[in-house]
Amino acid sequence: MLFRQIVSYALLIGVLSGILITAVQHWRVIPIIQSAERFEQTTGTAHAHDHHAHEPEATVWKPAPGVERTGYTLLSNVLIAAGLALVLLPVLVARWAQRTPSSGICWRGLLWGFAGYVVFYVAPAIGLPPEIPGASAAPLEARQLWWLLSVLCSAAGLAWMAFGTNRWRWAGAGVLLAPHLIGAPKPPAAAFPEQTPEVAAQLAQLAGEFITATALANAALWVALGLGSVWAARRILSARY
C-alpha cells in the first residue's frame, strides 16, 4: 500500500513538474537551441558541399519540429521528474515516519528543492556547463563519469553537513568540493573551432544565455519537485496515522 502511494504521488508530481519545466524550456531554452542549430546546419551544409558533394548523406531520425518534438520533450521531462520524485519522496517519508511535520510545508519544500537543485544541476554545471549544439566537448564517457561523481559527492556532502554530528559536520564541504578539486574533463579545442571568429562570438553569447536559461528551467523543476514531494509525504503519513 505504501509503495503504491509513493509511486502514484511520484507520477502525479512528475506530470505537473514535467509540464512546468517544458513550459519554461519553450519560453527560454528551446529558442536558444534552435538558434544554435541554425548555425550548426549552415556550417554542416557548407562542409558537406565542400568535402562530400558526391556521397549520400546518412539518414538520422529525429522528431519533427512542432507538436512531435514538443511531445517527446514533454514525455522525457515527465519521466525524468517522476524518477527524481521517486528518489526524493521515499526519503521524506522515511525521515518523517515517526513525526509528520504539522506546518512549514512551503519552506520545507523549498529547502529540499534547493538541495536537489544543487546536487543535480548547480554542482555538475560548475564543472560541465550546459552546452549548445555545435560546441566542442570532452569525450562523452569522461563527462558522464565526472557528472555522476559530482552528483554523488554533492549529495553525500550536503547530507553530511545537514545531518552529521556538530564536530564533523563541516567535513562534508570537503566531500562536496572533491570532484571540483579533481577537475572536470575539458574539451580538446576551442568552443567552436569550425566557425569564423564573428560566428564563434555570437555562439559564445548564445552559450552564456543557454546556461542562464537552463538554470532557470531547472530551478523551476526543483521548486515544483520540492513542494510537491513535501505535500505528498505529508498526505501519505497523515493517512497512515
CA-to-CA distance for 135 and 4, rounded, in angstroms? 43
Q: If pLDDT is split at 50, 70 and 90, which confidence band does 98 have?
A: low
Asked if the structure places residue 219 within a domain, the reply is yes
Cell of 147: 557528472
Number of domains present in the structure of the chain: 2
What is the pLDDT, as a whole number, of residue 147? 96
Asked if the structure places residue 165 within a domain, the reply is yes
pLDDT (tens digit, 9 = 90+) per residue, 120-132?
999 999 999 999 8
Asked if the structure places residue 72 within a domain, the reply is yes
Asked if the structure places residue 57 within a domain, the reply is no
pLDDT (tens digit, 9 = 90+) per residue, 142-171?
999 999 999 999 999 999 988 877 777 888
Asked if the structure places residue 24 within a domain, the reply is yes
Q: 186: Cβ–Cβ under 8 A, 6 or more apart, which residues?
A: 138
Do 35 and 145 share a domain, yes or no?
no
Do 79 and 170 share a domain, yes or no?
no
Output 174 or 96, whichever has higher pLDDT.
174
pLDDT (tens digit, 9 = 90+) per residue, 75-85?
999 999 999 99
Do 169 and 207 share a domain, yes or no?
no
Q: Three-class SS string for 101-139?
A: CCCCHHHHHHHHHHHHHHHHHHHHHHHCCCCCCCCCCCC
Structural domain span for residue 97: 2-48+67-131+195-240
Do 86 and 175 share a domain, yes or no?
no
Asked if the structure places residue 29 within a domain, the reply is yes
Do 82 and 123 share a domain, yes or no?
yes
What is the pLDDT, as a whole number, of residue 99? 64
Question: Do the beta carbons of residue 185 and residue 140 sit within 8 Å?
Answer: no
Do 74 and 166 share a domain, yes or no?
no
CA-to-CA distance for 148 and 142, rounded, in angstroms? 10
